[in-house]
């Protein structure tokens, strides 16, 4: 994990992450590759139907992102995971 935190930040570019969740809906989230995972979760939740978000009690702390078999940690950046444009991330809600 320390190696992921030590990665040098690349130049800023916008990428689109496809976030999938059957309860809140699938969304294409446009964000900077310099965004933290926590920031991307916030953008995703803002784009979701707010009635569903409130009904499920979804918050950035309760949403877990998974990609390529790994849970994405809130304090790391998209570039830490070498996220590419159009990559799919699974969102799960912690109960």
> Domains in the chain, start-ordered, CATH in brackets?
2-93 (3.10.20.90)
**Full-model pTM:** 0.90
pLDDT tens readout for residues 50-91: 999 999 999 999 999 999 999 999 999 999 999 989 999 999
- How far is C-alpha 46 from the geometric centre of its chain's CA atoms? 12
Mean pLDDT on 4-23: 90
- Phi, psi at 51, each rounded to 5°: -65, -40
CA distances from 88 to 3, 23, 66 (A): 23, 16, 9
């Amino acid at each position: 994990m320390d190696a992921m935190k030590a990665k040098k930040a690349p130049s800023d570019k916008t990428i689109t992450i496809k976030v999938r969740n059957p309860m809140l809906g699938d969304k294409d989230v446009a964000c900077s590759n310099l965004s933290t995972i926590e920031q991307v979760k916030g953008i995703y939740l803002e784009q979701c139907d707010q009635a569903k978000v409130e009904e499920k009690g979804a918050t950035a702390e309760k949403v877990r992102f998974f990609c390529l078999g790994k849970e994405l940690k809130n304090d790391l950046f998209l570039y830490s995971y070498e996220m590419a444009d159009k990559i799919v991330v699974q969102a799960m809600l912690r109960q």
